[in-house]
Structure 1
Amino acid sequence: MKNSALLLIILFFALTAAAQDTIQSKKIITTARMLGLGFTNRLDTYLSAEEYTGSELRFVSQTVRENGSRISRAVNHQANIAKMNNSAGNGNEIGALYSFAYDCNYLLLRRQLEIRAGVGLESSLGFLYNTRNTNNIAQAYLAANLEAGIIAAYPFRLLNLPMEARWEAHFPLGGLMFSPNYGQSYYEIFSRGNYDRNIVPTTVFSTPSLRQQLTLDFTVARTTVRLGYMNDIRQSSVNGLKQHAWSHLFLVGIVRKFSITHIIP
């Protein structure tokens, strides 16, 4: 009986220790949903040699998963729609773009300032339509890139209110993109099947681009609000054609953070 009681006591403390270890293995998930509104400047020499400027509306969704290690994972969805005019006011362009990115980041510094850096995969799909053209009325966008990024977060208190300033930047290292060649029509590509280097390898030199955002999180009535600024610069020069999309956006959204604990029996 004494041996059985002792065994039960040892088993109880072993299970208690295991449960405590399990409770400590928490996964923290942070989600941010934001809307951006601002100014955009577009150029696509396949459609026009002129720059078109106008307004852009963008939806941004970001989910960051942490599991207690130095490595975190981030999933980003962005979708935008824009309408632009040329300088003479006699031509319009309408564009839309969806992009998806999956990043893995490594914690470099964790003091009051937290710094992470990493790499990921980013893909995008969209179009640009020129209402003035009779030939070459639209351009399709399709690309996939390996990207690098850096994130810095600084929590602080102001008037006894918790806040966090956050800056992040991402830029493509290289990948593949679709592009017609100079003087080539979509009819030649898809109806006649005339391939002319339309899937193009890209590098930081042919697609010098940068997407960065600076945000501030603060709590209002138990809701964490995010305000910020996004600067998205997408550029390419391939197949004798030049493209750019420069966007400056004001961001507003809501941030939620929760944890998941797995209990192993």
Structure 2
Amino acid sequence: MKTVASLMILFSCLVFPLAAQTDESEEDDIPRSVNEATMIGVGGYNVMDTYLTPGIETKYTGWGLRILNERMKVVRLANYNVSRQQFLNVEFASTRNAADVATDYIGFVDYSLGYHYRFTNIVPNLKVLAGASARLSGGFIYNTRNSNNPASGKADLDLNFSAMGIYGFKIRNYPITFRYQMEIPFIGALFAIHKGQPYYYLSQGDRGGVIKFSSLHNKFAMRNYFTFDFPVANFTVRAGYLNSMYRTDVNGVKTHVLSNSFMIGLVKEFVSFGGKRLKKTHEYSSAYY
């Protein structure tokens, strides 16, 4: 518990002071737009959890669905050279083992808040962003074949390194914006039941060692995100590919959830005006383009 408390203090020191400074001054002449995209994705999943299959690293494969909402905005930090990014991700998948006699259902929800310093003068039309993010996630893996211990719960709190590149170009005057982003946790805490320990024991007070410090020695997780933005009629479409890897080896239980999703959705860019800014609605600074 001391580890978790220390991590919560660390996250508060790193993230919440940044969030407290993101309101723009009313005297700023150039409004900052919010770039928001909502996407739906479909793809393949590979799942394994030895809590559900003791002693056997049985892999389950199948298809899953995810919904992803992303928001980006330039904030006041470092003379408006920092952008804030928020992700809300919801996913669900159904997978089967190789013998096709059992099913694993998985469901996860996660939210992340990140801040990136923006390098905009490296190459024309290229933005390189680097920073950190904090992510809170929770979910489950449920096995239909098990009568005892049919489900494995997951909960993670991470501090991640995050970087991305955004490049705008044209093909015969048709504008396209490409983005690649990677995110990898380097410190955090996670909930991990012990091998063979029923969840019923937790309600009886047997909670020792189920909250663990996590880093690269017992957890590897990474997201690779590729997107293309392009206009279609009066809309901006965002299409992309999301590769997600999650592996843990804690308390005698090995878990992995690997997925590859193809994403499609719409982008909207808007500015909240107020007071004197209404006079300059034709001018704004984009966090993305």
Q: Same fold (TM over 0.5)?
A: yes
* Structure 2 CA distance for partners of 1:200 and 1:179, relative to 1, 3 Å: same
Letter matched to residue 187 of structure 2: G
Matched to 2:182, the amino acid is: A
Deviations, residues 212-240 of structure 1 (Å, cap 9, x unaligned): 11111000012000111110001111111
Partner of 1:77: 88
Give the aligned residue type for 2:95: M
| 2:199 maps to 1:186 | yes
Pairs aligned (count): 244
1:119 paired with 2:119, answer no
Q: Greater CA deviation, 103-112 or 43-52?
A: 103-112
The one of 198, 216, 219 aligned to 2:210:
198
Could you tell me how far apart the structure 2 residues matched to 1:194 and 1:22 are? Answer: 56
Aligned equivalent of 2:19: none
Q: Deviations over 1:77-120 (max 9, x none)?
A: 00000000000000001110000000011113443211001111
**Distance in 2 of aligned mates of 1:66 and 1:122:** 20
Deviations 1:191-220 (A, max 9, x none): x21123000110122111101111110000
* Per-residue deviation, 1:23: 6.4
Could you tell me whether the CA contact under 8 Å between 1:23 and 1:261 is conserved in 2? no
Q: Distance in 2 between matches of 1:150 and 1:204?
A: 18
Distance 1:174 1:234 in 2: 14
Please tell me the residue identity of whatever aligns with 2:31: K
1:159 pairs with 2:172:
yes
The structure number with the bigger radius of gyration is 1
Are residues 1:259 and 2:267 paired? no
Give the match's secondary structure for 2:200. helix
Q: Distance in 2 between matches of 1:33 and 1:261?
A: 23
Q: 2:119 is matched with which residue? A: 108
- Distance (whole Å) between structure 2 residues aligned to residue 182 and residue 89 of structure 1: 25
Report if the CA contact (8 A) 2:75-2:84 is conserved. no
What is the aligned counterpart of 1:38 among 27, 39, 43?
43
Aligned to 2:73: 65
Q: Gapped runs of 5+ residues in structure 1? A: 1-20
**Is contact 1:33-1:255 (8 Å) kept?**
yes
Contact 2:42–2:63 (CA<8 Å) still a contact in 1? yes
Distance in 2 (alpha carbons) for counterparts of 1:134 and 1:159: 61
How many angstroms apart in 2 are the aligned matches of 1:180 and 1:66?
Answer: 40
Identify if the C-alpha distance between structure 1 residues 47 and 262 changes in structure 2 by more than 3 Å, giving closer, same or farther: same
> How far apart in 2 are the matches of 1:207 and 1:254?
33
Residue by residue, what CA displacement relative to the aligned partner does 1:121-161 show, whole Å, maximum 9, x if unpaired? 10111111100011110011111111110010000111211
Residues 116-265 of structure 1 correspond to what in structure 2 (within 5 A)? Answer: 116-190=129-203, 192-263=204-275
- Give the root-mean-square deviation of aligned CA atoms: 1.6
Taking the aligned partners of 2:118 and 2:217, their CA distance within structure 1 comes to 28
Q: 2:59 aligns with which of 27, 51, 55?
A: 51
CA distance in structure 1 between the aligned counterparts of 2:150 and 2:135, rounded to whole angstroms:
27
- For 2:177 and 2:263, the matched residues in 1 are separated by 15
Task: Report how far residue 179 of structure 1 moved.
Answer: 0.9
Tell me the TM-score normalized by structure 1.
0.88
CA contact (8 A) 2:118 2:128 kept: yes
1:22 CA displacement? 4.3
Provide the C-alpha distance between the structure 1 equivalents of 2:129 and 2:274, rounded to a whole number of angstroms: 26
**Offset at residue 38 of structure 1 (A):** 0.5
Query: Per-residue displacement from partner, 1:34-84 (whole Å, max 9, x unpaired)?
Result: 001010000111002311000010000000011471111011000000000
**What is the TM-score with the length of structure 2 in the denominator?**
0.81
Letter in 1 for 2:100: G
Q: Which residue of 1 aligns with 2:10?
A: none
Query: What is the CA distance between 1:172 and its match in structure 2?
Result: 0.8
